[in-house]
Amino acid sequence: MDQSSILDFRSGTFFAPILVLYNDDLEKIEQRLQEKIASAPDFFSNSPVLFDLSELNENGKEIDVEALISLLRKLSLFPIGIRGGDPSQEKRALELSVPVDSSRSRNDAILPEIQKKDDTMPEIQPVIREAVRAPAMMITQPVRSGQRIYAASDLVILAQVSAGAEIMAEGNIHVYNTLRGRALAGVQGDTTARFFCLDLQAELVSIAGIYKTSEDLKGTPRKKPVQVYLRDQALIIEELS
């Protein structure tokens, strides 16, 4: 280890539920939040939360950001980001130590819709992001069922990815082994992202939100190197000769 190293920034993943507001009545919001928290106290107690004001702003509804943040904190939630706010709301939030999450764009990946298929799971998005495109994340140990990997640029995996594991990258994904889990490339909307694999047995493959499940991948040759890319909004799976 280099003796002069003091600190390092690494590509990381942080998951938090996103609170989307449709109504601007703080009393109603408080009541509904209390109900939600009571329904799953362990999940919500001291939970970090990102709040999304885009629906309110699109429908011309005003909300007092300061009151909202105090309300959240009163209910033992930790607001860690504001999304979809107008400049004055963002400014107010920053003054109250709540950063702005600008990762959501109009042409965003359909990633949230995949999550919608599972009603019980709250929507999750990475919150801490690299400012500069990082070098590829390299994984040499098997990725086991239930594990999740998120790479801010490319992802290279040299061991197997088990069924029930999820690997995600904003850039390309290379699996130089067998993939049995879910792989999502170009997760922030990069339609040029590609996926490379030595043995494709995936549960789901997605590029920029366009996906195929293992049912649709039945015809894929097994134990042969393949690449997957998008052409005209459709996933193409090709053997690498």
Partner 1 sequence: MARIIVVTSGKGGVGKTTTSAAIAMGLAKRGHKTAVIDFDVGLRNLDLIMGCERRVVYDFVNVINGEANLNQALIKDKNCNQLYILPASQTRDKDALSLEGVGRVLEELSKDFKYVVCDSPAGIEKGAYLAMYYADDAFVVTNPEVSSVRDSDRMLGILASKSRRAELNMDPIKEYLLLTRYDPDRVESGEMLGLADVQEILSLHLLGVVPESKSVLNASNSGIPVILDEKSDAGQAYADVVARYLGEKKPLRFIDSKKGFLRKLFGGK
| Tokens linked to 68 | 């909202």
Three-state SS at 80: strand
Quick check: 13 binds partner 1 (CB under 8 A)? no
Q: Are 192 and 185 in contact (CB under 8 A)?
A: no
Whichever of 2 and 232 has its CB closer to partner 1, that residue is 2
Residue 47 CB-half CA count within 13 A: 19
Stretch that binds partner 1, among 109-117, 159-167, 219-227, 232-240 (CB under 8 A): 159-167
Stretch that binds partner 1, among 3-11, 17-25, 70-78, 161-169 (CB under 8 A): 161-169
Closest CA to 182 of 159, 194, 200: 200
From candidates 142, 198, 214, 225, binder to partner 1 by CB under 8 A: 142
Quick check: 159 binds partner 1 (CB under 8 A)? yes
The number of beta carbons lying within 10 Å of the beta carbon of residue 25 is 11
Three-state SS at 70: helix
**Strand-strand pairing, 173-179 and 195-200:** parallel
From candidates 72, 165, 179, 208, binder to partner 1 by CB under 8 A: 165
Minimum Å gap between C-beta 140 and partner 1 is: 12
Stretch that binds partner 1, among 95-103, 106-114, 143-151, 203-211 (CB under 8 A): 143-151
Minimum Å gap between C-beta 142 and partner 1 is: 6
Note the helical H segments in 40-95: 41-44, 54-58, 65-74, 87-95
**Strand-strand pairing, 166-169 and 148-151:** parallel
Quick check: 225 binds partner 1 (CB under 8 A)? no
Residue 196 CB-half CA count within 13 A: 11
From candidates 31, 102, 145, 213, binder to partner 1 by CB under 8 A: 145
Stretch that binds partner 1, among 45-53, 74-82, 94-102, 157-165 (CB under 8 A): 157-165
| Tokens linked to 37 | 């928290």
For partner 1, the binding residues in 175-194 under the rule CB under 8 A are 180
From candidates 12, 146, 221, 238, binder to partner 1 by CB under 8 A: 146
What amino acid occupies position 150?
Answer: Y
Which residue ranges make up the site for partner 1 (CB under 8 A)?
A: 141-147, 159-160, 162-165, 180
